[in-house]
Amino acid sequence: MTGEGPARQAAALAARTSYGRLLSLLSARTRDIAGAEDALSEAFAAALQTWPERGVPDNPDAWLLTAARRTLLNAARHQGTRDAAAAEIARRHAMLAAEGHDPAFSDERLTLLFVCAHPAIDAGVRTPLMLQTVLGLDAARIAAAFLVAPATMSQRLVRAKAKIRDAGLRFALPEPEERAGRLGDVLDAVYAAYGTGWDSRDGLDASAGGLAEEAIFLGRLLAALLPDEPEAKGLLALMLYCEARREARRDRAGRFVPLAEQDPARWSRAMIVEAEGLLTAASRSAQFGRYQCEAAIQSVHVQRAVTGVVQHGALSLLYDLLATRAPSIGVLVARAAALLAAGDAAAALAALDALSPQARIATYQPYWATRAHALRDAGRPDEARRAFARAADLTGDAALRAYLLGRAADGA
């Protein structure tokens, strides 16, 4: 299939679905993430020049991997450095040439995730680094998720990659005694990727399509790699509970449907059953974990499919526990939303007011959406309308924006 249109579509698909896997394979041998990124960028540029004329190859990923490895090999030879890495790249390139593809196409993403979570890397940049190198998110999107300036995030990421290269960090899965200290950061990155992918499928950014599925895949790998780690099971369960409700978040006309109004018949029973099994297995460890607790909260919500009601008392207890042990802004806003759902608008507003001095809430959309609903239920319609409008301005999801503006227009 030749032509510029099909070639660009194939390259875009490879960038969305395979960037992290390709980068992980390349950097695992060179230990130079920035160099691997440059080589991969050149490979994509070459593809956009070559594929329109010669046609899209049967295996675009293998073509890109071969081109990038050739670039790395040439660079290593030119510089006269990294002889061992060059030899390994040459050996694998020869394998590709002989067989026409990489038969193993081994998945090095978990290895790279744990490398990015190394104690030598600044704690505040570990999750952003994983999101960029393994999952292919750009610095601007990561900066928005972490509520910092894009330039600041870019500088942090560049320094972290240089640290990995200059320190010669070992590209291998850490020993069991070392994994525990890194696992939390790895789980955080996978969950952040899932959230970004979830938003993209709702219309925020089509270029991130498939990221939610990628995160679930990595969650499965983690659960299989670490069968004795309850938090790995907890994270996978949490993502599956959320994924089970994906179709119900929009009605047949594409309009946004809040959780309380969703039709449980549209939830995926298979995913819920799998998530329940994972959560049950994780709970046998009798060890508190953030992701187990968040999964338990989702489990309470999905019980509505069976009982027809939501156990708000159970939700309040779980959110109190979660807020005590993992008091992030997201958790605290969700706790306020749970208080509101239980019918206590005054308590919800008090919880939100306690966050007000924090500058980060100024652009945190869930805060303003929750506040708007709480103000409405508290009988403060004018303030509610302003909060709904602000929440709408902070989302790029067209359906959610329409829902929020509708609430603002109908007198809240």
Express each pLDDT in 261-272 by its tens digit: 999 999 999 999
Which of 227, 200, 220, 225 has its CA nearest to residue 211? 200
The counts of H helices and E strands in the chain are 20, 0
CA pair distance 217, 18, nearest whole angstrom: 13
pLDDT value, residue 214: 82
CA pair distance 223, 331, nearest whole angstrom: 24
Q: Confidence class of residue 167 from pLDDT cuts 50, 70 and 90?
A: confident
Residues 6+ positions from 289 with CB-CB distance below 8 Å: 230, 231, 234, 282
Q: Evaluate whether 241 touches 298 at the Cβ level (below 8 Å).
A: yes
CA pair distance 338, 373, nearest whole angstrom: 12
Question: pLDDT: is 178 or 358 the higher one?
Answer: 178
pLDDT value, residue 298: 96
CA pair distance 26, 35, nearest whole angstrom: 9
Question: pLDDT: is 137 or 273 the higher one?
Answer: 273
Helix spans in 284-328 (H): 290-302, 304-307, 312-325
Q: What is the pLDDT of residues 92-119, one digit of tens each?
A: 444 434 433 343 334 577 888 888 888 8
Angle, CA 317 vertex, CA 296 and CA 295 arms, to 5°: 10
Q: Confidence class of residue 54 from pLDDT cuts 50, 70 and 90?
A: confident
Residues 6+ positions from 79 with CB-CB distance below 8 Å: none
- On the question of pLDDT at 34 being above 90, the answer is no
Q: How large is the average pLDDT for residues 50-58?
A: 84
CA pair distance 70, 67, nearest whole angstrom: 5
pTM: 0.72
pLDDT value, residue 205: 47
